[in-house]
Homo-oligomer: A and B are copies of this chain.
């Protein structure tokens, strides 16, 4: 109808994780038309008794252990009339993150792909992956969202690797540590790596001070006088 009362509503998950030093996204291969054999984001229909966030968590539970998700945030609505053939489907897309130190079990039709080297995707899913990627990259700059990509504890080198992979270019370890420390999002645990076989000085272990998303407002002009 012309009043939108019959629009089907789906939820889509862009699940991102640092794997093999690259930012990768979880996709599954369709076995049916339309978009046969193309790669799709995890998805599902919104149910009557849930909001979109509850729905995306329920859909993902069929793919991975939802407890391994370290962050879930709404991205955007995709609603072009022709984005899915034959019928009208409105999609709410999410950005979901998994820490780098877990390897969730996934179904046989599901694989990880680097976000900068995607296979042929179904419908508008490539665009959605890129929106998810860009949102993550932007938030790495002005929030503590690194906590969702990193393990609970990590060395500065490991964190550098994570940030470099997510951003797509090398960042300096020394500066990364100081910037995040000054902002108060990073703190030392006081312990170091057991001094195994690295051949160098055993690195100190760090953790994020908070595992909730916090923004750091950098511009003092626009900050209220303290």
Contacts and interface: CB of A to CB of B under 8 A. Distances in A.
Interface of A: 1-10, 45-52, 55, 74, 76-77, 79-81, 88, 90, 92, 138, 140-142, 163, 167-172, 175-176, 179, 215, 217-219, 221-222, 224-225
Residue from A5, A6, A88, A218 whose CB has the most chain B CB atoms within 10 Å: A5
Nearest to A163: B222
Contacts of A179: 219, 221
B142 A45 contact: no
Given A163-B222, A171-B222, 11 more contacts: A3-B8, A4-B8, A7-B46, A46-B79, A77-B92, A140-B222, A141-B217, A142-B142, A176-B221, A179-B219, A179-B221
A175 to B, nearest CB: 5
Nearest to A220: B175
A6 B5 CA distance: 7
Nearest to A76: B74
Given A92-B79, A141-B219, A225-B169, A3 B50 contact: no
Contacts of A74: 76-77
Nearest to A46: B4
A45 B176 contact: no
Nearest to A183: B219
A1 B49 CA distance: 10
Nearest to A218: B218
B218 A2 contact: no
Contact of A169 (B5, B80, B171, B224): B224
A167 to B, nearest CB: 6
A222 B5 contact: no
A122 to B, nearest CB: 18
A163 B141 CA distance: 24
A45 B81 CA distance: 14
Contacts of A52: 77, 79, 90
